[in-house]
Amino acid sequence: MSTQSDQPALGVVVPLYNEEGNVAPLVERIVAIMERLDGRPSYEIVLVNDGSTDGTREAIRRELAARPNVVLVDLSRNFGHQLAATAGIEIARGEALVLMDGDLQDPPELIAEFVARWRSGYDVVYAVRRSRKGESAFKLWTAQVFYRLIKRLTKVAIPVDTGDFRLMSRRVVEALRRSPERHRFLRGMVSWVGFNQIGITYDRDERLSGTTKYPLPKMIRFAIDGITSFSDIPLRFASYLGFITSGVALLYALIVIGYKLLSLHPPGYTKGWASTIVAVLFLGGVQLVSLGILGEYIGRIYDEVKGRPLYLVRDIERSR
Ligand code: UDP
Ligand code: MG
């Protein structure tokens, strides 16, 4: 059993938001696999309570009392999945950290393979979803579109069908710690870090209990975060759109002037309001889209320059 002063060799980080029914089975399965690892490395399981409103904190404290190697990081409120994960990653000790979801959709048994790859020299071992059980057709489709869109829009090679379930070596963790950005898209940031990375495929399970914490509006925000933190193509898209429409408008103006100079009436002259309205609406739409894209980036700049802490910790408790 490790004491407080020992540095554990491995850390497992789990952000938890209203997962009271999943905490005990989760810890059980993580411990089972950690105890079976080659060489029985010392470890700690860092459970981040992301401002849950159910009994998640109490469930974590029960584990803390019942077994060694458990750490509770209690955040001051709900900060969201990516920031809760960041808190855990920054606080957890270990030469390598595993990040995983708390609903047992990420099978802890995969940790054995993560560790084996890490020991053979990889800095990042990420889990690629071969299949996803118990997800709606809509979620599967949106996820598929999202991963491919982000692949096309970003210069960093972010692997497709890959969530945050992964192992990271200490130097990768340190690189993340030095990245203070607020709109975090961790899976992209880890890809950006570099070093030796490898993916292993797995079948994603159903959530053990509770409901998803990523309803559609949050999924959309997350997707926008991912794209805007790794790509400026939408900004350029706005200017292309502007160029194309002003080109078309110029052409149209020339035609109109031509008619005027030749004292001719363009076809549909008496009903000219139709073409006018169409042009106004079209140009207005293009401008609003472009402004919206600008707004997304400016909003993010605003958030970043405020420089507030990414999360606040209420307290940290360790099992003795
Ligand atoms: N989560 C969190 N804070 C939040 C939302 C989610 O810590 O504000 C945790 C959640 O408890 C789970 C993980 O993030 O451990 C992934 O969330 P979820 O399983 O709901 O996402 P999905 O698998 O449906 O995409
Ligand atoms: Mg889940």
Instruction: Say yes or no: 156 and 142 in one domain.
Output: yes
Region 32-56: mean pLDDT is: 95
Region 149-156: mean pLDDT is: 83
Average pLDDT over the chain reads 87
Residue 3: pLDDT band (50, 70, 90) is: very low
Q: Is residue 76 part of a domain?
A: yes
Residue 271: pLDDT band (50, 70, 90) is: low
Instruction: Say yes or no: 76 and 53 in one domain.
Output: yes
C-alpha 310/C-alpha 2 separation (Å) is: 30
Q: Is residue 48 part of a domain?
A: yes
Strand partners, 13: 46, 99
Instruction: Say yes or no: 91 and 151 in one domain.
Output: yes
For residue 268, what pLDDT is reported? 60
Chain-centroid distance, C-alpha 25: 25
For residue 81, what pLDDT is reported? 95
Q: Is residue 3 part of a domain?
A: no
**What's the 306 CA to ligand 2 centre distance in angstroms?**
31
Q: Is residue 68 part of a domain?
A: yes
Strand partners, 70: 45
- Inter-axis angle of helices 273-306 and 216-230, to 10 degrees? 80
pLDDT in tens, 157-173: 888 888 899 999 999 99
Residue 132: its H or E element: strand 124-132
Instruction: Say yes or no: 199 and 244 in one domain.
Output: no
Region 142-165: mean pLDDT is: 85
Instruction: Say yes or no: 203 and 280 in one domain.
Output: no
Closest C-alpha to ligand 1, atom 1: 81
Strand partners, 203: 131
CA dihedral (181, 185, 190, 192) in degrees, to 10, reads -70
Residue 51: pLDDT band (50, 70, 90) is: very high
C-alpha 271/C-alpha 273 separation (Å) is: 5
For residue 113, what pLDDT is reported? 94
For residue 267, what pLDDT is reported? 63
Weakest-pLDDT range from 79-93, 180-194, 216-230, 261-275: 261-275
**Angle in degrees, CA 98, 157, 199, rounded to 5:** 40
The count of domains in the chain is 2
For residue 158, what pLDDT is reported? 84
Quick one: which ligand is closest to 215's CA? Answer: 1
Q: Sheet holding 96-99: strands in order across?
A: 197-204, 124-132, 162-169, 96-99, 10-16, 43-49, 70-75, 313-318
Region 180-185: mean pLDDT is: 88
For residue 269, what pLDDT is reported? 62
Instruction: Say yes or no: 31 and 175 in one domain.
Output: yes
Q: Is residue 269 part of a domain?
A: yes
Q: Is residue 225 part of a domain?
A: no
Confirm whether pTM is higher than 0.85: no
For ligand 2, an ion, list residues with CB under 5 A. 101, 103, 105, 207
**What's the 17 CA to ligand 1 centre distance in angstroms?**
6
Identify the residues whose C-beta falls under 6 Å from ligand 1: 15-17, 19, 50, 78, 80-81, 84, 101-103, 105, 207, 212-214
Tokens 């109109």 label which residue? 256
The domain in which residue 134 lies consists of 10-216+309-318
Q: Is residue 278 part of a domain?
A: yes
Q: Is residue 4 part of a domain?
A: no
Instruction: Say yes or no: 282 and 159 in one domain.
Output: no
Residue 144: pLDDT band (50, 70, 90) is: confident
C-alpha 46/C-alpha 60 separation (Å) is: 10
Closest C-alpha to ligand 1, atom 14: 81
Region 28-45: mean pLDDT is: 94
Is pLDDT of 239 > 80?
Answer: no
Q: Given CA atoms 27, 29, 35, 40 in this order, what sign does their dihedral have?
A: negative
CATH at residue 39: 3.90.550.10
C-alpha 257/C-alpha 275 separation (Å) is: 15
Mapped onto helix, strand or coil, the DSSP state of residue 311 is: coil
Region 58-76: mean pLDDT is: 96
Instruction: Say yes or no: 202 and 271 in one domain.
Output: no
Which of the two residues, 216 and 100, has the higher pLDDT score? Answer: 100
Mapped onto helix, strand or coil, the DSSP state of residue 152 is: helix
Instruction: Say yes or no: 77 and 134 in one domain.
Output: yes
Residues of the chain above pLDDT 70, percent: 95
Instruction: Say yes or no: 259 and 139 in one domain.
Output: no
Residue 279: pLDDT band (50, 70, 90) is: confident
Weakest-pLDDT range from 123-137, 246-260, 294-308: 246-260
Which of the two residues, 7 and 67, has the higher pLDDT score? Answer: 67
Instruction: Say yes or no: 202 and 122 in one domain.
Output: yes
Instruction: Say yes or no: 154 and 247 in one domain.
Output: no
Residue 270: pLDDT band (50, 70, 90) is: low
